[in-house]
Amino acid sequence: MAEKKLSLADKIHDEILEMVIRLSSDQEDVVLTEGSLVEKFGVSKAPVREALVKLCSEGVLKSVPRYGYVIVRLNEKDARDITQFRLILEISALKQAFPHIHSEDLEPLRHHLKETGKTRTTDVWEVWEDNQEFHCLLAGLAGNRFLVKSLRESMAIQKRVYAQLHWQNRHSMEYILNPAPHEEIFDAVEKKDLEKALSFLRSDILQGKTSAASAGGF
């Protein structure tokens, strides 16, 4: 099925979200205004306003009348809650999918691991995108697009958590993004060892939480 083409408002939404993630580690509140964003993107007010409304509804920004839009800060409980939500989603998806997984179903995951293994990028945002794609492909084996959508949204929130909490402590996220567990998860799934696959998956999801604790974030 062809990928849905993003509207201008959706593209602006994604660019503002990325901007928010990069600004999340700033100690001082950053104020975004409709006018400055219209000028930045070189578009009319309508798509910018639509994007801002959506970001407010998602809890990313908060509108302050006659002031602008401020970034909604995430706290340690948010970090714990989103990790727990991911565990529920992904463990459930793998259990549901496991009896029906055939070798050909694993080809997208196999290809993804092969391609990421070639590049081994050090750019933290690219590493995060690779991490997200692996987990969404794995969850997608359950054949539930709503579950995958929820996972993508939760990992977008987690990306903001990491940007805010981890950068404040170490100014880097590289130490919590280790691609090796993905290969262990895949190997266990391929060998039809559900218990090992679940164990490796659980450890991988919790990796960021453990690292945050060692960094003083939890």
Phi-psi category of residue 42: left, alpha or beta, with phi > 0 → left and psi -120 to 50 → alpha? left
User: Which of 64-78, 121-135, 202-216 shows the lowest mean pLDDT across its residues?
Assistant: 202-216
Using an 8 Å Cβ cutoff, are 152 and 204 in contact?
Answer: no
Could you tell me which residues are beta bridge partners of residue 70? Answer: 31, 62
Residues 117 and 190 in one domain: yes
Residues 123 and 91: their CA atoms lie apart, in Å, by 28
- Same-domain status, 104 and 140: yes
List, for residues 142-183, the tens digit of each pLDDT value.
999 999 999 998 998 888 887 766 555 544 445 455 567 899
> Domain of 20?
8-71
Q: How far does Cα 72 stand from its chain's mean position?
A: 17
Number of domains in the chain: 2
**Is residue 165 situated within a structural domain?**
yes
Same domain, 205 and 103: yes
Q: Are residues 43 and 119 in the same domain?
A: no
Whether 216 shows a pLDDT value over 50: the answer reads: no
